[in-house]
Amino acid sequence: MTRSAKVQALIDLLESESGRGRSDEETPDIGIVMGSDSDLDTMYGAYEALTELGFEELTDYDDPPESRFTFETFVVSAHRTPELMYAYGETARDRGLDVIIAGAGGKSADLPNMTASIAYPIPVIGVPVQEKSVDSVIGMPTGAPLVAVDAGKSFNAALSAVQMLSRAHPELEARLEEYHDGLQDGVGTVSKRLHEQGTKRFREER
Ligand code: RP5
């Protein structure tokens, strides 16, 4: 198979990064990959969750953001750029990634499960971008693990990724608890108002 110069440049970048021996503070903790930029609207939930939890996006390996916790984002197509997918998974550990979130759509949504096989033992959280992608994302054989969320739930995929990281980083556990407290407050506030206003008025003013 021929390989475009642009894809080769990305492969070279990943391979050279894997040999840099950068510190944990400099490397991305979470990698987000998606099969196409047409998946981005669905995968944007992962960006939203991570930034809400204080992560910053690393876009230049030589100039990482201030935040201790960072993520990176790439389009990697299992079918159109299999060598890039391989390089991404194979270099994940040496580039400092602790978890990968992989999303793909269509009926042959192979990026999450193939990335999980290549990056093993780095955990991969699969996001089926469409309902019809669910079976191909979750259908891994015994011994080849993949964690997956329901179709479109990239926000939850990011929360799960941070949960995994939080076992080694108490400050992330505190951020997850604070996020959950905010959710509880939301339910508490709305429940109190519904109860006190009564159903009819609450519904009208909603
Ligand atoms: C999958 O094919 C991608 O993950 C995407 O969801 C779908 C369609 O890709 P495009 O044709 O929009 O690039 O591999």
> What integer is the mean pLDDT of 182-193?
98
Q: What is the pLDDT of residues 104-155, one digit of tens each?
A: 999 999 999 999 999 999 999 999 999 999 999 999 999 999 999 999 999 9
Q: What is the pLDDT of residues 1-12, one digit of tens each?
A: 778 999 999 999
Q: What is the pLDDT of residues 27-72, one digit of tens each?
A: 999 999 999 999 999 999 999 999 999 999 999 999 999 999 999 9
Instruction: Report pLDDT for 5.
Output: 96
Ligand 1 mean position, distance from CA 112 (Å): 13
Ligand 1 mean position, distance from CA 19 (Å): 31
Concatenating the DSSP letter of every residue in the chain gives ----HHHHHHHHHHHHHHTS---TTTS-SEEEEES-GGGHHHHHHHHHHHHHTT-EE---TTS--SSSSEEEEEE--TTT-HHHHHHHHHHTTTTT-SEEEEEE-SS---HHHHHHHHHTTS-EEEEESSGGGHHHHH-PPTTS--EE-STT-HHHHHHHHHHHHHTT-HHHHHHHHHHHHHHHHHHHHHHHHHHHH-HHHHHHH-
Atom of ligand 1 nearest to the CA of 129: 6
Angle between helix axes 82-91 and 111-119 (nearest 10 degrees) is 40
Pocket of ligand 1 (CB under 6 A): 35-36, 38-39, 77, 104-106, 129
Nearest protein Cα to ligand 1, atom 3 = 35
Which two tokens mark 138?
A: 């979750």
Burial class (CB in 10 A: 0-12, 13-18, 19+), 28: buried
Instruction: Report pLDDT for 73.
Output: 98
Which one-letter amino acid corresponds to residue 104? A
Atom of ligand 1 nearest to the CA of 133: 6
Instruction: Report pLDDT for 77.
Output: 98
Instruction: Report pLDDT for 2.
Output: 79
Atom of ligand 1 nearest to the CA of 104: 4
Residue-averaged pLDDT of the chain: 97
Which two tokens mark 144?
A: 């080849």
Nearest protein Cα to ligand 1, atom 12 = 38
Count of C-beta atoms within a 10 Å radius of residue 6: 10
Ligand 1 mean position, distance from CA 54 (Å): 30
Ligand 1 mean position, distance from CA 76 (Å): 10
Nearest protein Cα to ligand 1, atom 9 = 36
194: Cα separation from own chain's centroid? 36
Which two tokens mark 118?
A: 């290549």
Ligand 1 mean position, distance from CA 37 (Å): 8
Instruction: Report pLDDT for 107.
Output: 97
Ligand 1 mean position, distance from CA 78 (Å): 10
Instruction: Report pLDDT for 56.
Output: 98
Instruction: Report pLDDT for 3.
Output: 82
Return the residue matching tokens 């030589």.
Answer: 62
pTM of the predicted protein model: 0.95
